[in-house]
Amino acid sequence: MSFPPKTDREAILGTALAIIETQGWSALSMRALGRTLGLRASSLYHHFPDRNAIEEALGSKASGSLLLALKSACLGLIGGPRIHALAEAYIDFALNNQALYNLVTTLPRSDENKPEGKALRDFFLETLNGDTSAAGALWAFLHGYASLHSSGRFDTTNATEVFERGLSAIVTDLVKKKNIL
């Protein structure tokens, strides 16, 4: 007689994310995961070889979630309105899903060849008509803004103005120099 599994990859990833969101990265371990799931840590090794594999799987999931948010926001839009929608969706995701956002941007892992990371980069490139420097500049601005905003570096009365002014400068530059829009 076989016994049903007590957990699966998705349950492990969901629990890992909950630990990260509530207790921070340092609290994530195979033992903490096992304890939270009511399992022995050794049971988790059937699904993931180590903590790094869990982080990598969460990172792929986070990149996919961000990409879905961006694509949904940009659906049917072109030019300046598309860039603005992408920027707003990016910031919304970053500020409202900080643990996931940190997975996308700060984990020390190489996702050059991972489909989710590549798809995210490609979406920025597509939005900016293949201009790699423009895509990089927009992504750097959005990441910088999100990082500063989430750490409380902006006066809440002018955070929106800062965002609009920075985005406007990038869009104006694209129109002037690259005639992208």
CATH number at residue 111: 1.10.357.10
Instruction: Give the CA count within 13 Å in the CB-facing half-sphere of 8.
Output: 2
43, 68: one domain: no
Residue 175 has pLDDT above 80, yes or no: no
Number of structural domains the chain divides into: 2
Under 8 Å between Cβ of 127 and 74: yes
78, 138: one domain: yes
Residue 181 has pLDDT above 60, yes or no: no
Residues 38-95 pLDDT 10s: 999 888 998 999 998 998 889 888 989 999 999 999 999 998 899 999 999 999 999 9
Instruction: Give the CA count within 13 Å in the CB-facing half-sphere of 103.
Output: 28
Name every residue whose Cβ is closer than 8 Å to that of residue 141 and which is 6 or more positions away in sequence.
166, 167, 170
Query: In this structure, is residue 159 part of a structural domain?
Result: yes
16, 90: one domain: no
Torsion sign over Cα 15, 18, 20, 26: negative
Q: At what angle do helices 132-150 and 79-96 cross, to 10 degrees?
A: 40
Torsion sign over Cα 156, 157, 158, 161: positive
11, 40: one domain: yes
111, 159: one domain: yes
Query: In this structure, is residue 3 part of a structural domain?
Result: yes
Query: In this structure, is residue 53 part of a structural domain?
Result: no
Residues 8-25 pLDDT 10s: 899 999 999 999 989 988
162, 84: one domain: yes
91, 27: one domain: no
Model confidence band, residue 157 (pLDDT cutoffs 50, 70, 90): confident
172, 103: one domain: yes
State the amino acid at position 9 in one-letter form. R
Under 8 Å between Cβ of 73 and 85: yes
Dist CA 180 CA 173 (whole Å): 10
Query: In this structure, is residue 95 part of a structural domain?
Result: yes
Residues 115-127 pLDDT 10s: 777 888 899 999 9
42, 74: one domain: no
Residue 1 has pLDDT above 80, yes or no: no
Residue closest to 28 by CA, chosen among 38, 43, 39, 18: 18
36, 62: one domain: no
Residue closest to 95 by CA, chosen among 139, 136, 53, 147: 147
pLDDT at 160: 87
Query: In this structure, is residue 25 part of a structural domain?
Result: yes
Least confident range from 21-25, 106-110, 168-172: namely: 106-110
CATH number at residue 32: 1.10.10.60
pLDDT at 82: 93
Residue closest to 149 by CA, chosen among 85, 80, 101, 82: 101
Domain that holds residue 109: 58-178
Query: In this structure, is residue 157 part of a structural domain?
Result: yes
Model confidence band, residue 5 (pLDDT cutoffs 50, 70, 90): low
78, 164: one domain: yes
31, 120: one domain: no
Residue 2 has pLDDT above 60, yes or no: no
pLDDT at 59: 87
Measured in degrees and rounded to the nearest 5, phi and psi for residue 148 equal -65, -40
Residues 123-147 pLDDT 10s: 999 999 888 988 999 999 999 999 9
